[in-house]
């Protein structure tokens, strides 16, 4: 019988209590079959945990799928003898080479937000804050994924500032990770993967779910348990972990931020306080104003809220501009100066701060300048094995073409590199309003509204739509809003019109059930607007006179409406058929028409039988012509409308000629001694 790796190592005197690092798997069998030899990875604020585990086993036949989705707790023995724990789930497994006695396995350990990268979705949220959306998606994941629920909990206690209630938020072809993190970035919210228990009493202590902590203020970052770290050159005889090198980097950043956007309520650009100078001094040689490094952003229009405030969304105002201005300023300020450190402090936890002591330069600074927040940690650690076994493992690693991080100091079997920033510098995630959002493209949507309505608009002529990608399951959290096929499916959406003046212009309001084409202002998913409509499938193009179809009637152009709740229509038809050019203004009620030009019967094919030339004003109902100042009816021809509107000269000339003839005849009668005409 082949001994397990655990039994082999215990025979060599390497019990769990004597190991520098130890792995506990949620799959019980793996705890006997797998020995953790080496770890290396990265943990970062506003990113997460990504660790590689190099493991040994006497079993070369472990199915790789047996590793996937397994929870793991990695315990590292600190300089103080405590067990510092990091947990996660295995997302990738690879089998290395085997020599018949030992087999290598390489495992990828990540926090549970790695699962968010694997789910892509498109959905909408109405009247929700970023905090609301975060809770909705988190609860959804917990209910649908037992692995996620067991691996991660949500901690919102670090959010001290109320986030705006946004009338409309869209996720479009984004992974849940990309969607949530871009929302957090836009609000200046940090996210931190933390442990429920950083220190455990023994290696068999149950695996607890990690915590996803959302933080919007530096005061929410906690101090390391040891709080103080010494600056000291590393040596084999050193009993206490320390920082062994520290370097600072400073880079020139923008010195001013100017934000502006369109505010429809005021018909003007909104720009808050204008160009705001950074409070961070970037250079001792040049002040910020003289550097003139301004980031002037033109961002998306103010959001599309209800005109009567019935949506309960936060009113669009300068406060959003000022907040974004501050967020971007904070991003540039923290990027202006960073610190990197080489360290042997095994329990240096990302998202925690410490005081650095015994540094020759910093000891001359204020206490605040000695406090550093850990933003990134790149680390490695390994167990100390007998020489023969170590050489055997090195040979297998070389055959597997796997390389491991090792210390530049031969006596050190563990170390880490830390990215630091001073604690008093406001920490926010990197944010670019353009780069940190998905690409947008025109898409279809269906016009919706309340039951019983055929046209549903607000005072500005905006409409409600259902985006065609929405699914009922994704919107059950809000009574189905977004996928109900009614007015709950979106915020009010602007409709592009060819002419929009003050009380005048062109008005063709989309009707419920029509398919419209949506685009997005400034490429922002949360600012959709209607650019037009499309005829597809049984929704045929305009049929003038309710006859014919394209392409046979392609020479007809114009407008035809439809009676609300009926079959009647009004139309303005232009017929550009060769030899039958005409125009018609018609209401189907009473077949009331004004026909102009070379008249023809309604077309079902390319041409139709003629009806005459000129004009026709007709109706099956009553007709009336009224002209308060007079009415001219004339059969006298006026070629090419060359005369004036009321030109009656031909009629006058005819009347005058008739009068002259009558007078002449009267004179003849008088000369013949008969009664003259009375003219």
In whole angstroms, give the CA distance from residue 644 to residue 539. Answer: 47
For residues 90-121, b (16+ Cβ closer than 10 Å) or e, as one string? bbebebbbbeeebbbbbbbbbbbbbbbeebee
Whole-model pTM?
0.90
In whole angstroms, give the CA distance from residue 258 to residue 277. Answer: 9
C-alpha of 437 from chain center = 5
- The pLDDT score that the predictor gives to residue 289 is 82
pLDDT digits (tens, 9 = 90+) for 190-220: 999 999 999 999 999 999 999 999 999 999 9
- The pLDDT score that the predictor gives to residue 56 is 94
Alpha carbon dihedral 229, 233, 239, 241, in 10-degree steps, equals 30
Structure tokens at 52: 């590689």
Q: What is the DSSP string of 455-492?
A: ----TT--BEEEETT--GGGGGGGTTTTSSSSTTSSS-
Cα-based angle 389, 394, 398 (whole degrees, multiple of 5): 150
DSSP 505: B
pLDDT digits (tens, 9 = 90+) for 309-319: 888 888 888 88
- The pLDDT score that the predictor gives to residue 569 is 96
Q: Which CATH class is domain 443-533?
A: mainly beta
Mean pLDDT of 43-51: 98
Which of the pair, 598 or 677, is modelled with greater confidence?
598
Give just the sign of the alpha carbon dihedral 124, 127, 130, 134.
negative
Q: Among 204-208, 357-361, 528-532, which stretch is predicted with the lowest mean pLDDT?
A: 357-361
CB 336 within 8 A of CB 439: no
The CA-based diameter of the chain, rounded to the nearest angstrom, is 162
Mean pLDDT of 500-504: 93
How do strand 199-200 and strand 83-98 relate by DSSP bridges?
Answer: antiparallel
Q: Among 189-203, 518-532, 603-617, which stretch is predicted with the lowest mean pLDDT?
A: 603-617
Give the relative orientation of helices 176-187 and 318-336 as an angle to the nearest 10 degrees.
100
What element of type H or E holds 138? helix 130-144
**In the chain, % of residues over pLDDT 70:** 96
Alpha carbon dihedral 84, 86, 92, 97, in 10-degree steps, equals 0
- The pLDDT score that the predictor gives to residue 410 is 52
Nearest Cα neighbor of 497 from 544, 543, 446, 462 is 462
- The pLDDT score that the predictor gives to residue 17 is 63
Q: So where are the chain's domains?
A: 443-533, 544-618
Give the relative orientation of helices 130-144 and 176-187 as an angle to the nearest 10 degrees.
150
Looking at the chain, how many residues does it have? Answer: 679
pLDDT digits (tens, 9 = 90+) for 369-393: 999 999 999 999 999 888 888 889 8
Residues 6+ apart with CB under 8 A from 552: 603, 604, 605, 606
**Looking at the predicted structure, is the pLDDT value of residue 67 above 90?**
yes
In whole angstroms, give the CA distance from residue 409 to residue 664. Answer: 137
Q: Among 95-104, 225-234, 556-565, 654-663, which stretch is predicted with the lowest mean pLDDT?
A: 654-663
Q: What are phi and psi of 162, to 5 degrees?
A: -70, 130
pLDDT digits (tens, 9 = 90+) for 618-668: 999 999 999 999 888 888 888 888 888 888 788 788 888 888 888 888 888
CB 216 within 8 A of CB 187: yes
- The pLDDT score that the predictor gives to residue 1 is 40
| Rounded alpha-carbon distances, angstroms, from residue 347 to 178, 188, 229, 282, 298 | 29, 27, 11, 33, 44
Nearest Cα neighbor of 343 from 351, 331, 354, 329 is 354
| Rounded alpha-carbon distances, angstroms, from residue 674 to 196, 241, 670, 679 | 133, 146, 5, 15
Which of the pair, 665 or 76, is modelled with greater confidence?
76
Give the residue carrying structure tokens 């927040």.
373
**Looking at the predicted structure, is the pLDDT value of residue 237 above 70?**
no
In whole angstroms, give the CA distance from residue 95 to residue 68. Answer: 13
- The pLDDT score that the predictor gives to residue 673 is 74
pLDDT digits (tens, 9 = 90+) for 140-161: 999 999 999 999 999 999 999 9
Strand order in the sheet with 570-575: 556-560, 570-575, 582-587, 592-600, 610-618
- The pLDDT score that the predictor gives to residue 235 is 60
CB 114 within 8 A of CB 42: no
In whole angstroms, give the CA distance from residue 455 to residue 561. Answer: 13
Which of the pair, 25 or 4, is modelled with greater confidence?
25
Mean pLDDT of 276-292: 81
Please provide the average confidence, as pLDDT, over all residues in the chain. 91
């Amino acid at each position: 019988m082949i001994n397990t790796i655990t039994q082999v190592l215990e025979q060599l005197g390497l019990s769990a209590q004597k190991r520098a690092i130890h792995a506990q798997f949620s799959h019980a069998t793996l705890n006997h079959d797998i020995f953790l030899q080496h770890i290396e990875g990265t943990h970062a604020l506003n990113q997460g945990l990504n660790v590689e585990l190099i493991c040994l086993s006497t079993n070369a036949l472990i199915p790789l799928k047996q590793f996937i989705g397994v929870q793991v707790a990695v315990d590292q023995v600190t300089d103080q003898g405590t067990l510092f724990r990091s947990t996660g789930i295995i997302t990738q497994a690879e089998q290395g080479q085997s020599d018949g006695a030992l087999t290598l396995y390489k495992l990828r350990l990540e926090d549970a937000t790695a699962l968010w990268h694997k789910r892509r979705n498109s959905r909408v949220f109405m009247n929700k804050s970023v905090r609301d959306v975060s809770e909705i998606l988190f609860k959804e994941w917990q209910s649908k994924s037992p692995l996620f629920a067991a691996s991660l909990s949500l901690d919102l206690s670090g959010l001290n500032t109320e986030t705006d209630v946004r009338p409309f938020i869209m996720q479009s072809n984004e992974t849940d990770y990309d969607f949530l993190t871009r929302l957090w970035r836009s609000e200046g919210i940090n996210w931190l993967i933390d442990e429920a228990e950083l220190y455990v009493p023994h290696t068999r202590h149950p695996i607890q779910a990690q915590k996803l902590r959302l933080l919007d203020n530096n005061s929410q970052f906690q101090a390391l348990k040891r709080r103080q770290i010494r600056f000291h050159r590393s040596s084999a005889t050193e009993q206490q972990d320390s920082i062994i090198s520290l370097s600072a980097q400073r880079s020139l950043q923008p010195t001013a931020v100017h934000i502006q956007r369109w505010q429809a309520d005021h018909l003007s650009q909104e720009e808050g306080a204008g160009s705001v100078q950074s409070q961070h001094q970037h250079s001792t040689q040049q002040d910020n104003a003289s550097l003139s490094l301004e980031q002037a952003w033109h961002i998306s229009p103010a959001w599309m809220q209800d005109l009567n405030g019935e949506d309960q969304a936060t009113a669009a105002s300068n406060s959003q501009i000022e907040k974004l201005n501050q967020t971007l300023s904070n991003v540039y300020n923290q990027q202006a100066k960073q610190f990197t450190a080489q360290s042997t402090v095994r329990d240096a936890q990302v998202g925690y701060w410490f005081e650095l002591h015994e540094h020759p330069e910093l000891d001359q600074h204020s206490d605040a300048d000695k406090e550093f927040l850990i933003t990134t940690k790149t680390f490695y650690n390994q167990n100390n094995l007998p020489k023969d076994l170590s050489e055997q493992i090195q040979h297998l690693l070389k055959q597997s073409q796997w390389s491991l991080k090792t210390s530049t100091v031969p006596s050190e079997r563990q170390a880490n590199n830390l990215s630091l920033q001073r604690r008093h510098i406001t920490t926010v995630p990197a944010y670019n309003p353009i780069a940190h959002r998905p690409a947008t493209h025109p898409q279809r949507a269906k016009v919706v509204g309340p039951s019983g309505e055929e046209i549903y608009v607000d005072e500005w002529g905006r409409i409600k739509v259902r985006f065609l990608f929405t699914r009922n399951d994704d919107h059950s959290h809000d009574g189905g809003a977004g996928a109900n096929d009614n007015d709950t499916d979106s915020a009010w959406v602007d409709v592009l019109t060819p002419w929009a003046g003050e009380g005048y212009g062109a008005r063709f309001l989309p009707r419920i059930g029509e398919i419209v084409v949506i685009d997005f202002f400034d490429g922002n998913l949360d600012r959709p607007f209607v650019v037009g409509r499309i005829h597809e499938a049984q929704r045929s193009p305009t049929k003038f006179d309710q006859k014919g179809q394209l392409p046979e009637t392609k020479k007809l152009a114009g407008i035809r409406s439809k009676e609300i709740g009926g079959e009647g229509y009004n139309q303005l038809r232009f017929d550009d058929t060769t030899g039958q050019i005409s125009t018609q203004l018609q209401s189907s009620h009473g077949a009331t028409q004004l026909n102009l030009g070379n008249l023809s019967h309604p077309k079902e094919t390319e041409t139709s039988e003629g009806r005459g030339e000129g004009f026709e004003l007709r109706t099956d109902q009553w007709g009336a012509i009224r002209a308060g100042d007079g009415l001219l009816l004339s059969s006298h021809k006026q070629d090419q409308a060359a005369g004036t509107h009321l030109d009656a000269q031909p009629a006058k000339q005819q009347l005058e000629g008739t009068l002259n003839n009558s007078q002449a005849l009267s004179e003849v009668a008088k000369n013949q001694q008969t009664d003259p005409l009375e003219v």
